[in-house]
């Protein structure tokens, strides 16, 4: 009898230990990419939502099939009385989702160590909930700027996280080690949201049959540079044009710059021209716009490398016309600085011809009289 009891106990122990190891070592493994999470970022929302926050929130709304908010609505909500450079907290994002019918779980920690395991609770085959993470904009040691990105997949097998990232593009993979290093010190946070039962009745829900687009070559070629654009803007706005010029020339001078779509080459070269204007070198600014910008400044929403520019998406809000008018505005400023009022007026008139709603300064308007 004792022998039979011993066998039973042994069997129970074996089953229990096996179940524990199965649960701990197998079920805790995640090798899954959530299907159907739309990418909104630099390559298709730059001209209307130049914000990692807006594009990340838009990705989650798009994934859940919630069409109530355009990027312009989100810009109006989060940046009504703010600049794009102003910090917005994960708590403010959580409040937005709660207000609009979502369940929200916000994870924060001052200490490293549990990030991946916490994200696994949502990014897995059962839950299928992508999360917004608050991290550094890039891995560059000297770049401490913050950014939001969306985690859409985890692979314990390859030790990689897959994200939709504003600068690095869609389906960008980061090693677990690098991903953990991208969290800011004392600001480790992510946000998971999913619709309440009541909201589910009103929205479309995820479309798991939607295939992910291939990655544009420029996403791998220029992502690190794009992650530094806020740094260039900082120097420009603070009046340190020499530092802004140093970084921008390195950016544009890289042979990989031509892997960017024409719309962005137009924008960044025009911005380079404006830096030269800040350095009081209008002749150089004019040369750049005439030689580098205007030859590309048409049909900016044409397909490029398998992707279609989304400038046309913003036509009702004048973003398409504004992007085409932008170089002529900079050219008008350059001719003004050179003292050529005739050519300045001609280019400002071209701005208004392309986009009658373009906001001109009082000084420019005076020249048009």
Average pLDDT rounded to a whole number, residues 265-282: 95
Choice among 3-7, 60-64, 173-177, 222-226 with the minimum mean pLDDT:
3-7
pLDDT(24) > 60: no
Helix (H, G, I), strand (E, B) or coil at 168: coil
Alpha carbons 285 and 301: distance in angstroms, whole number: 25
Q: How confident is the model at residue 319 (pLDDT cuts 50, 70, 90)?
A: low
DSSP 267-312: HHHHHHHHHHHHTT-HHHHHHHIIIIIGGG-S-TTSEETTEE--GG
Which has the closest alpha carbon to 237: 84, 53, 74, 43? 84
Q: What residues does 303 pair with on adjacent strands?
A: 308
Ordered by start, the domain boundaries in the chain are 31-200, 228-367
- CATH architecture of the domain 228-367 equals Alpha Horseshoe (1.25)
- Residue 361 CA to its chain's centroid (Å): 30
DSSP conformational letter for 29: -
Average pLDDT rounded to a whole number, residues 231-244: 90
Residue 320: the pLDDT is 59
Alpha carbons 363 and 343: distance in angstroms, whole number: 15
Which has the closest alpha carbon to 44: 318, 315, 319, 311? 311
pLDDT(23) > 50: no
Average pLDDT rounded to a whole number, residues 130-141: 89
Alpha carbons 25 and 3: distance in angstroms, whole number: 32
CATH level 3 topology of 31-200: Cathepsin B; Chain A (3.90.70)
Helix (H, G, I), strand (E, B) or coil at 317: helix
Per-residue tokens: 295: 């030859």
The residue written with tokens 């020339």 in the block is 249
Per-residue tokens: 348: 């400002």
pLDDT(141) > 60: yes
Residue 158: the pLDDT is 97
CA triple 200-94-152, angle to 5 deg:
70
Q: Are 309 and 261 in contact (CB under 8 A)?
A: yes
């Amino acid at each position: 009898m004792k022998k039979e009891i011993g066998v039973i106990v042994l069997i129970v122990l074996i089953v229990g230990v096996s179940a524990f190891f199965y649960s701990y070592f197998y079920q805790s493994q995640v090798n899954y990419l959530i299907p159907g999470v739309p990418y909104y970022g630099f390559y298709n929302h730059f001209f209307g939502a130049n914000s990692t926050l807006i594009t990340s929130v838009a990705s989650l709304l798009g994934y859940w099939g919630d069409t109530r908010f355009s990027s312009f609505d989100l810009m109006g909500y989060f940046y009504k009385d703010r600049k794009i450079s102003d910090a917005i907290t994960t708590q403010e994002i959580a409040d937005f989702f709660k207000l609009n019918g979502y369940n929200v779980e916000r994870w924060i920690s001052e200490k490293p160590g549990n990030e991946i395991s916490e994200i696994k609770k949502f990014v897995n085959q059962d839950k299928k909930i992508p999360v917004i993470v608050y991290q550094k904009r890039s891995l560059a040691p000297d770049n401490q700027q913050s950014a939001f990105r969306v985690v859409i997949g985890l692979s314990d097998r390859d030790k990689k996280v897959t994200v939709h990232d504003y600068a690095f593009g869609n389906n960008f993979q980061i090693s677990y080690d690098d991903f953990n290093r991208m969290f800011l010190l004392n600001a480790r946070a992510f946000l998971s949201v999913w619709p309440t039962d009541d909201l589910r009745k009103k929205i479309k829900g995820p479309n798991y049959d939607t295939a992910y687009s291939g990655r544009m070559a420029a996403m791998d070629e220029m992502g690190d540079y794009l992650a530094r654009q806020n740094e260039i803007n900082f120097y420009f706005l603070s009046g340190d044009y020499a530092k802004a010029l140093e970084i921008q020339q390195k950016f544009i001078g890289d042979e990989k710059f031509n892997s960017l779509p024409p719309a962005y080459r137009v924008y960044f070269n025009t911005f380079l021209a404006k830096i030269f204007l800040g350095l009081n070198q209008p002749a150089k600014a004019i040369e750049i716009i005439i030689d580098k910008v205007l030859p590309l400044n048409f049909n900016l929403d044409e397909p490029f490398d398998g992707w279609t520019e989304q400038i046309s998406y913003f036509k009702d809000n004048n973003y398409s016309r504004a992007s085409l008018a932008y170089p002529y505005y900079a050219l008008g400023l350059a001719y003004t600085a050179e003292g050529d009022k005739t050519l300045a007026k001609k280019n400002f008139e071209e701005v208004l011809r392309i986009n009658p709603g373009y906001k001109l300064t009082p000084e420019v308007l005076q020249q048009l009289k």
